[in-house]
A and B are shown apart, each in its own frame.
Chain A
Amino acid sequence: MAVKEVSIGDIGSRAAQADEEFGGDKMLINMGPSHPATHGVLRLKVELDGETVTKCDPVVGYLHRGDEKIAENMTYNQFVPYTDRLDYIGPIHNNVTFALAVERLANLEVPPRCQAIRVLCCELARLQSHLLGCGVYGMDTGALTVFMYTFTQREKLYTLMEQLTGARFTTSYTRIGGLMRDVPDGWLGNVRKVIDEMEPVIDEIDKLLSRNRIFYDRTVGVGVISKEDAVAYGLTGPNLRASGVALDLRKDKPYLGYGQYDFDVPIGTTGDSYDRWLVRLEEMRQSIGIIRQAIDKMPDGPFYAEDAKKIFAPPKSKILTSMEELIQNFMIVTEGPQMPVGEVYFEAENPKGALGFYIVSKGGGVPYRMKIRSPSFCNLSILSKMVPGHMVADIPVILGSLDFVLGECDR
């Protein structure tokens, strides 16, 4: 039997040839805009080498409604309902952030009771947003049960919102210089009851997933964002803090009297998807602490700035009985709250990150230009950098851990 001699060099060249022949082309796949793991209408153009992502190009804008253009065409109070539709997971926080931005333009400080109610609203919104964020994050990693737990709790928050504002979802609760109305009787007690029930559930969710082997394996070391990258890409909120940057505007640029509340800012160590989960869980516990303090310390007094005659409409009983108040109300409704000439930029710590409003005013009740700095938009811009190198199955995990909302991203 003849033996065929094969030289080493020959094998090498054949192997190279085989690589070329069987290496295969890169495949371009399209995730979204209608895909359950993309949490809305995000579309990813993903280039794959086998199962490994080599390039990722996020396409946003499917939910673009031109909110900034709309804002230039209406009075400040008329724009409040549009802010509900930015981050529609925790809508009442957008109302508060917008009102704060316009009040900064007017150089107006609202009374302590109004501030405390707004703090309550903000933290309830944070709970709403993180409950949903953690629930769907669990679903994205295959843990369906957590979603049932979180949504049951979220439902109770809807009920609280309904009692407070009359609407479960699109709250439109703030007005420039105050609120739509004071809190109803007994509402603070209801809030306390709900958060008392919620606290053990958060521990339960923690126990369900944080030490769950499957969840752990799927999230640890996946989607790592370094400190430097997080800052360079302008990430904010829990995503930034999970990367180890202790930046929380509630602590660093206190508004609404956040300085008088005692709470911690949780930060991560590695910036991976698992850290982002832990940070959100801990933020919920801190929010519950802030809500307790706000209820305990709830000051009495007016719920709107009484001296701001050209900004906040007087109470209905006075409008119907007094000429001056009637005129005041008419002017605010028709011409909008009167603002000085100038420009301001205000950011608040929304559940998703720093929501900013840049308002350029030429006086009167309508902004000349209003830019909305959306945290989800900035948080998503890092995708093209962080996704390549991961497997396709990691994409839902990364998207779930970033917790974005497209209504705010696309505006």
Chain B
Amino acid sequence: MSETDFTTALRERFPGVTERPSLDLAAYDCPHGELQDILRYLRDDAGFDMLMDVTAIDAYEESPRFTVVYHLFSTARREYVRIATPCEDDAEPRAPSVADLWPAADWHERETYDMFGITFTGHPDLRRILMWDGYPYFPLRKEFPLAGHEVDLPAPDVAERTGAKVLPAPMMGGPFHSPQKGPMSRREPRADDESWTETREKDAAQALPDGPRDFKHSDT
């Protein structure tokens, strides 16, 4: 089955599937209700037997805010396909789990949940994987600042004894880059947080305003 063959077959079977703009692979948007059926069809009938990657995109101020993206690979035909599906509900995003189709999806979905807070319904064991259990934020959401937020230590007994906290990262050393938006006068490369110095530790109250980087630089 060549690429065009499975495309027509996929379209005929699932009229909800639309082409997704892409610079390289065949890519399709699909409604989240049909996601499992579409991926099962691609795995069993179109030969895409490997789930390479699952991730998400946070569109921030648009709706639907979160999109889950799957990359499949066919070991027989040596080709990729990208399937994207928007999540239900912008505040508490949900997507169907495909862990029963590919065991590989287990960790990928845990990571996507960990980073974006997308709940994969039907996942057997959805808990954080890179951050620690009980971490209160979802770091790859656009409103989460690069430096991080101050939070409690994962071990309460150590926190009690030492009074230590997880502090935002000092950003004085960079990264230095210029904002992509705004007038030329404000596009000089600079660090994200210039308030922090070696002698003056970052004050928690002065933490970065939330929001994507492009809106962060004030007039000062």
Contacts and interface: CB of A to CB of B under 8 A. Distances in A.
Interface in A298-354: 333-336, 340, 342-347, 354
A334 B188 contact: yes
A260 interface: no
B52 A231 contact: no
A234 B52 contact: yes
Interface string B147-181: 01000000000000000000000000001011010
A347 B52 contact: yes
A334 B175 contact: no
A70 interface: yes
Contacts of A229: 103
Interface in A336-384: 336, 340, 342-347, 354, 356, 358, 360, 363-366, 368-369, 371, 373, 377-378, 381-382
Contacts of B213: 72-73, 366
A335 B115 CA distance: 27
Nearest to A235: B104
Contact of A354 (B52, B58, B82, B175): B52
Given A60-B129, A68-B140, A344 B23 contact: yes
B57 A245 contact: no
Give the contact-size bracket for chain B.
35 or more
A74 interface: yes
Contacts of B57: 360, 368-369
Interface string A28-71: 00000000000000000000000000000000110010101110
B139 A66 contact: yes
A229 B102 CA distance: 10
A26 interface: no
Contacts of B130: 60-61, 64, 410-411
B164 to A, nearest CB: 18
B55 A366 contact: no
Nearest to A340: B23
B104 A104 contact: no
- A interface SS class: mixed
A27 B26 CA distance: 49
Contacts of B175: 70, 73-74, 78
B24 A346 contact: yes
A232 B103 contact: yes
B75 A334 contact: no
A209 to B, nearest CB: 30
B72 to A, nearest CB: 10
A105 interface: yes
B78 interface: yes
Interface in B47-90: 49-53, 55, 57-58, 69, 71, 75, 78, 80, 82
A253 B106 contact: no
Interface in A76-118: 78, 104-105, 107
B146 interface: yes
Given A73-B213, A104-B24, A381 B177 contact: no
Interface in B187-211: 187-189, 192
B41 interface: no
Contact of B146 (A73, A253, A343): A73
State the 6 A-B residue pairs at the shortest beta-carbon distance, nearest first: A234-B104, A61-B130, A342-B23, A371-B55, A381-B107, A74-B175
Given A336-B177, A342-B21, A356-B53, 15 more contacts: A66-B148, A75-B177, A105-B23, A231-B49, A232-B104, A233-B103, A234-B104, A345-B71, A360-B57, A366-B177, A369-B58, A371-B55, A373-B53, A378-B104, A381-B106
Interface of B: 21-25, 27, 49-53, 55, 57-58, 69, 71, 75, 78, 80, 82, 102-104, 106-107, 111, 115, 128-132, 139-140, 144, 146, 148, 175, 177-178, 180, 187-189, 192, 213
Interface of A: 60-61, 64, 66, 68-70, 72-75, 78, 104-105, 107, 229, 231-234, 245, 247, 252-253, 333-336, 340, 342-347, 354, 356, 358, 360, 363-366, 368-369, 371, 373, 377-378, 381-382, 385, 410-411
25 contacts: A60-B129, A60-B130, A68-B140, A69-B140, A69-B144, A74-B175, A74-B177, A75-B177, A105-B23, A232-B49, A234-B50, A234-B51, A234-B104, A245-B75, A334-B188, A335-B178, A342-B21, A342-B23, A343-B82, A344-B24, A345-B24, A356-B52, A366-B177, A366-B180, A378-B104
